[in-house]
Amino acid sequence: MATVNVYLTFDGTCEAAFNFYKSVFGGEFPMVGRFGDMPPQEGMPPLTEEAKDRIMHITLPISAETVLMGSDTMSGTQNHMAGNNFSLSVNTDSREEAERIFTGLSADGQITMPLSDTFWGAYFGMLTDKFGIKWMVNYDDPAKVQAH
């Protein structure tokens, strides 16, 4: 069964925001990844020092069922403004469930990142549905995630 969580996006203030949320909700960050941790991407220019320090992905469990997730944008790459800086993140139990949900949500919408295997071990894609809602669909393959 799929779970849905909120994924927040910031323009360079993700770390400060999540430290604030941690002070309110408590807990620890089980995952903090920075853009500088990524392997080089073919066809992409080298990252600036400022970009390397931005948050690529961070998680903060809020309850047994809810995880607050977030990242920074790459400076100047997205239309970022308060009110459009979130997505709904669906985590599935299988690759097939990820494909079914992704295909359903993307009908008459816009795929911004096709489902594909990622360097962090997930099967992941992003889209905006026909109603303008941003979605992320993710399947963490246990065999691949443990290897990272």
Counted domains in the chain: 1
In whole angstroms, what is the distance from residue 75 CA to residue 84 CA? Answer: 16
Structure tokens at 108: 């008459």
Q: ∠ at Cα 118 (44, 54), nearest 5°?
A: 55
30-66 per-position pLDDT tens digit = 989 999 988 877 877 788 888 899 999 999 998 888 8
Q: Which domain holds residue 17?
A: 3-145
Q: Which residues pair with 126 in a beta bridge?
A: 113, 136
The confidence band for 80, taking pLDDT boundaries of 50, 70 and 90, is low
CATH code at position 129: 3.10.180.10
